[in-house]
Amino acid sequence: MVEPETVEVDETSRVLVTGGAGAIGCNLHRALLQKGARVLVLDDLSSGRAEFIDSRADFLEGSIIDEGTLDRAMGFRPTHVFHLASLFANQLSVEQPERDLLVNGLGTLRLLLAAAKARVRRFTYVSSSCVYESGTGFDETNPRRSTSTPYAITKALGEDYAHYAFRRLRLPGAVVRLFNVYGPYELPGRYRNVIPNFIDLALQRKPLPVTGTGQETRDFTFVDDVVRGLLLASRVTFDTVHHFNLGTGTETRIVDLANLINRIAGNPRGVELQPPRDWDTVSGRLAETRLARELLGFEARTPLAVGLARTHEWLAQARTR
């Protein structure tokens, strides 16, 4: 293997974060600002919140589908691009499959083409563990194959477009696959993740609805660890395109997650089992992070109880604003 080239994010960097008003994007763009980088957040605010954007960041409201918006974004002359913008996520994609394809497919392709033309030095494509079909061990070197939802299909399509741009258009970059990220700046809602919804119900002293048997497992990863992994992935370009899993390598049963959140929130109402969602056929997810450890030096550091307590504290405060 050719020795990888390293480009650090520092005070000379100009960084574009698509989807930067979302939960991960808010934490990421703050970390970039802390490094002294100038940051442009591009977001259409379909799910992100403008009030969560740090005042030190530049903000461009618009969609990655719109070529005029992308022209303005590239006018920022970014050295790095972190592509988090997407139609999120599985349930919404089932209800709106054409919009999912438009944003996650065409939008990603247009952004890659624009970044290659602008000679961006590093492009980090943020994919999802949902591209894997089933099982509990998700090896970074195994091909993804899920067709369970349009979101799974289009996130994999985005990976393919990224491969094309990395190899044929000479756009340096990496693909990262995220495992069940949680943390501050994510509000509850119908199309949001399980943890903010569980915490919100626990704060209301309501029982937590667990779909399926409760024995299903996921690899819940705190957002601070994910941000660190994204920054590590953006530093280097290898002669081979790698997929880096960003997860903890620890399985948690959903019923155990619910019980832990109830304990943290002091919620006595317990859990209620509900029928599984018809598209959710994966009984377990567990990140295999060998490549991320060996090539990036990544390791998740935040215990679940600690991350949940911090998320509970943030959401409890957000509810009072």
Determine the angle formed by the axes of helices 108-117 and 150-168, rounding to 10 degrees: 20
- For residue 285, what are the contacts with CB-CB under 8 A and spacing of at least 6? 129, 132, 136, 138, 179, 180, 217, 218, 219, 251
Cβ–Cβ under 8 Å, residues 185 and 43: no
Cβ–Cβ under 8 Å, residues 305 and 257: no
Confidence band of 2 (pLDDT split at 50, 70, 90) = very low
Mean pLDDT of 264-281: 91
| pLDDT of 281 strictly over 80 | no
Q: Which domains does the chain have, with CATH numbers?
A: 5-179+223-247+286-301 (3.40.50.720)
Mean pLDDT of 88-94: 89
Mean pLDDT of 194-219: 96
pTM: 0.96
Q: Which residues are catalytic?
A: 151
Cβ–Cβ under 8 Å, residues 200 and 211: no
What would the pLDDT profile of 103-118 be if each residue is shown by its tens digit? 999 999 999 999 999 9
CA distance 290 to 42: 32
User: What is the model's pLDDT at position 1?
Assistant: 40
CA distance 98 to 103: 9
Mean pLDDT of 127-133: 91
Q: Does residue 32 sit in helix, strand or coil? A: helix
Mean pLDDT of 300-314: 98
Mean pLDDT of 208-214: 95
Please report where in the chains the tokens 């808010």 appear, as a residue: 26
Percent of the chain with pLDDT over 90: 84
Mean pLDDT of 207-211: 97
